[in-house]
Amino acid sequence: MSHTLYGAPLSLYSGKARAYLDWKGVNYREVLSTPDIYTNVIIPNVGRPVIPVVQTADGDILQDTTLIIDHFEQFEGGPSVYPETPRQNFASLLLEVFGDEWLVIPAMHYRWNYNEEWVYGEFGKTALPDGTPEEQYAIGKERGQTFRGFVPMLGVNEQTIPAIEASYEALLADLNAHFTVHPFLFGTRPSIGDFGLIGPLYAHLWRDPASGQIMDRIAPRVSAWVKRMVEVAAPQSGDFLPEDEVPETLLPVLRRMTSEQLPYLQRVAGMLNDWVAANDDSKPPRAVGMAEFTVEGVNGQRIATPFSLWMLQRALDYRAGLNAEDKTACDRLLSEIDGEAFSHFTMPRLNFDAHVLTLA
């Protein structure tokens, strides 16, 4: 029996899950998440309309791409997307956080400020697969307004847009330089970091036509990496670089994370600490307010999500569980990327289980 992926072509996180399942060689079928699928499958099992969702051959429901990946890493066997060496694995986990939780900012900006009319048609193809283009556009525009409304909550506005674009174009340049030398982040095998980046860089920033043209023009090597990730030529192939090498070409990307995302995560952690002190509930809200962030010297505010801290906690837990020698190797990496603050990051402990984020 095969597994089932409920997703959609325009979905950021469906892109991440699909790329992983294809590389891992998992026997699965993809089912478009139409309104009937939301009503009859997703909401009854997950409690809210969210994709992707995987139903395993045994009937288990998996929601959240990281949990989906970890499930198949455990039960499918074969080469892992998690490097075995400390620096590579730690860097890869940090880059998953960067892709999943930070690059959603440029992804949503370019989608809704460069590709809006096209995206309404894409929403319509999901909501009404058999409709005419006019019918699809009409229902797509109706349903897409909810997602359009998320854009300001991510800190995207007239003041921040020039900085967001400058940061994104600089990131593309850095990644283009890296992929000129290496097929993937850490060699010839994709890592969990690659899968963190592929969601936004494929489903929004490459697949959406206007932003795809920008990527092709500025960073053709990144476009080529996207194609390698989503058009898997040889499942479970490739190797990570020897001797735990984190390529010099990746350091600018990691420094961008520590300069932009790390201070924001510290603020969210402080806000969650305050929330915990004032509340007895073991289930934190999906947001604890709006947190300040800075990109290219421009300040903004975006929604403060405890789930981002759970994602970061995975990387911090990995580092904390290392022996002294391996932890020192990771700390040298943090020093190289101006990320020493990760080594003493404090926050309430979080669990993500049964599709719910709770305090440990």
pTM confidence score: 0.96
Q: What is the pLDDT of residue 83?
A: 98
Q: What is the spatial distance between Cα 31 and Cα 11, in angstroms, rounded to a whole number?
A: 13
Please give the single-letter amino acid code of residue 107: A
Q: What is the spatial distance between Cα 58 and Cα 291, in angstroms, rounded to a whole number?
A: 41
For residue 331, pLDDT over 80 is answered with yes
Cβ neighbours, 10 Å, residue 297: 7
Q: What is the spatial distance between Cα 54 and Cα 355, in angstroms, rounded to a whole number?
A: 12
pLDDT confidence of 180, banded at 50, 70, 90?
A: very high
For residue 1, pLDDT over 80 is answered with no
Q: What is the pLDDT of residue 249?
A: 98
DSSP summary character for residue 240: B
Q: What is the pLDDT of residue 110?
A: 98
- Alpha carbon 226 to its chain centroid, in Å, reads 14
Handedness of CA 75, 80, 82, 84 (dihedral sign): positive
Whose structure tokens read 């850490």? 186
- For the ranges 98-107, 145-154, 177-186, 190-199, the lowest mean pLDDT is seen at 145-154
Q: For residues 167-177, give the mean pLDDT.
A: 98
Q: What is the spatial distance between Cα 190 and Cα 51, in angstroms, rounded to a whole number?
A: 23
Q: What is the spatial distance between Cα 42 and Cα 57, in angstroms, rounded to a whole number?
A: 16
Q: Which two tokens stand for residue 202?
A: 């494929």
Phi/psi of residue 237, nearest 5 degrees? -105, 165
CA dist 210 to 202, 217, 325, Å? 13, 11, 47
DSSP summary character for residue 226: H
Helix (H), strand (E), coil (C) string for 112-161: HHHCHHHHHHHHHHHHCCCCCHHHHHHHHHHHHHHHHCCCHHHCCCCCCH
Q: What is the pLDDT of residue 282?
A: 86
| Distant-in-sequence, close-in-space partners of 76: CB < 8 Å, separation ≥ 6 | 24, 25, 26
CA dist 321 to 111, 245, 314, 357, Å? 39, 20, 11, 22
Answer yes or no: are the C-beta atoms of 293 and 299 closer than 8 Å: yes
Four-CA torsion 25, 27, 30, 36, nearest 10 degrees: -150
* Residue pLDDT, tens place only, 74-105: 999 899 999 999 999 999 999 999 999 999 99
* Residue pLDDT, tens place only, 208-218: 999 999 999 99
Task: Residue 219: name the closest of 197, 235, 241, 234 by CA.
Answer: 197
Q: What is the pLDDT of residue 353?
A: 81
Phi/psi of residue 314, nearest 5 degrees? -60, -45
* Percentage above 70 pLDDT, the chain: 100
- Alpha carbon 62 to its chain centroid, in Å, reads 16
For residue 12, pLDDT over 80 is answered with yes
* Percentage above 90 pLDDT, the chain: 96
Element (H, E) at 3: strand 3-7
Cis peptide leading into 52, omega within 30 of 0? Answer: yes
Q: What is the pLDDT of residue 360?
A: 82
Q: For residues 222-232, give the mean pLDDT.
A: 98
As a whole number, the mean pLDDT across the chain is 96
Q: Which two tokens stand for residue 34?
A: 């139409």
| Distant-in-sequence, close-in-space partners of 96: CB < 8 Å, separation ≥ 6 | 66, 192, 193, 195, 196, 311, 314, 315
For residue 354, pLDDT over 80 is answered with no
* Residue pLDDT, tens place only, 281-322: 889 999 999 999 999 999 999 999 999 999 999 999 999 999
| Distant-in-sequence, close-in-space partners of 80: CB < 8 Å, separation ≥ 6 | 73
